[in-house]
Chains A and B, each alone.
Chain A
Amino acid sequence: MSEPRTLTADSRPVVAAKARLRWDARSSRHLLLYPERGLILNPTAADVIQLCTGAHTVADIVDRLAVKYAPQPRETVEREVLTFLVNMADRGLIREHDD
């Protein structure tokens, strides 16, 4: 196995096989479920995770969210998205899509 690479703008993140997103009607939040655990996602985090399909690069994801969360500056959105994705990758909840 290779060392986990650092996420870059060109990375195409994908939700790991062990994790699954579901809507939680009680909290009106998305949950990211994985063995024995779960994360309650805020709406922005849920937007990011829903784009982690392997089809979108980090740059794509940032572009889309920057539009959705305008007038927040793109740099702010980018910083938040990257911080979140690195945290998720460290937990093994997202991986880089490999062809």
Chain B
Amino acid sequence: MTEEPRPYTLVAELTYRCPLRCVYCSNPRDFARHGDALGTDDWLRVFREAEALGVVQLNLTGGEPLLRDDLEPLVEGARTLDLYTNLITSGVPLTRERLARLKAAGLDNVQVSIQDVTAAGSERIAGHRSFERKLEVARWVKALGLPLTVNVVLHRENLDHVAEVIALAESLAADRLELANTQYLGWALANRRMLLPTREQLDAAREVAREARRRLRGRMEVLFVTPDYYTDLPKACMDGWGRRFLVVTPDGLVLPCHAAHTLPGLSFDNARERPLAEIWQHSAGFQAFRGEAWMPEPCRSCERRTLDFGGCRCQAYHLTGDATATDPACSLAPAHALIEAARAQAQAPSTEVIYRTARAADGV
């Protein structure tokens, strides 16, 4: 693959603060150490530099991006750059008036996360009573004429509710439903024994989603993301390291994925200290896993290496201790037994919950 890397999407993690405490949060476990160091002007400069590099999609996320009181000028600045701006939110805290202001500023899409189809199920996962409020926010989104994405992270406690999830999304007139199985990194890895489903659950839910996709074609896009623990093939994580995505953290680190700063031995630059173009092209962290030179066997001679790019570096590191290892999700990986053992554990799950908290242990 000699195709020149081009970032199409900027994932702007505006803050790691969040009222919810979801057990599968994708923020790093030491999130509380990373403050909101980038101000409004910093972010607007990041947006400009990203657009100049080729970015056309902007995900405003966190944490909870609504906790930033400068969200309106950020959306307005993004729209001036003709970026497609997607607000990825828990819906808490939001008023209808503020949502109307965000729409007026040029917001293109709102993605609301929903944890389950009941208030109790949602509260158990989010550690926060917010189910009814989320539904209200989703209805405001549609009432204001904004497109709505409903995102539901799937795991063993809600996979059996996928039919009800789809019905809920239909009743909200969602334009897009993301049924995204949990990725077992960070908080989700710590909670894996509680979250990892059985293969039977997964197969049943996938079939329900497939039928709904057919039935709803042209009206609601139904996306089902299979967990790589059950595919025996690694996923093309971020479409390949440093190929399509730029992630900027609340404190300004520029990363190829949202967990890259949990890998030891890599150096990443800060958007406040170096132009984005230089970081994208030259920073050691971005170069580390581009191309194929870093790959071990069996990846290096595998015909799928240009499809999956060797899988997820963060998963390789957090399961094996070696970020250059073949992703254990691959059935050809030397460490694939780790995945098989986790699947076996899914027959004897834990109900113990570790909520996201600022007092977590270091690392991971």
Contacts and interface: CB of A to CB of B under 8 A. Distances in A.
Interface in B194-227: 217-221
Q: Give the interface residue-count category, chain B.
A: 20 to 34
A36 B86 contact: yes
Interface string A4-44: 10000000000011101010101000010111101000000
Contacts of B182: none
Contacts of B6: 26
B175 A38 contact: no
B108 interface: yes
B109 A18 contact: yes
Contact of B147 (A1, A17, A24): A17
A47 to B, nearest CB: 20
B56 A31 contact: yes
Given A26-B6, A35-B111, A18 B147 contact: yes
A35 B217 contact: no
Interface in B85-123: 86, 108-109, 111
A68 B59 CA distance: 38
B109 A35 contact: yes
A35 B61 CA distance: 14
Given A33-B84, A34-B84, A24 B56 contact: yes
Contact of B176 (A4, A18, A31): A18
B82 interface: yes
B145 interface: yes
B109 A26 contact: no
A9 B97 CA distance: 42
B218 A22 contact: no
Closest 3 CB pairs of A and B: A18-B147, A4-B218, A33-B84
Interface of A: 1, 4, 16-18, 20, 22, 24, 26, 31, 33-36, 38, 89-92
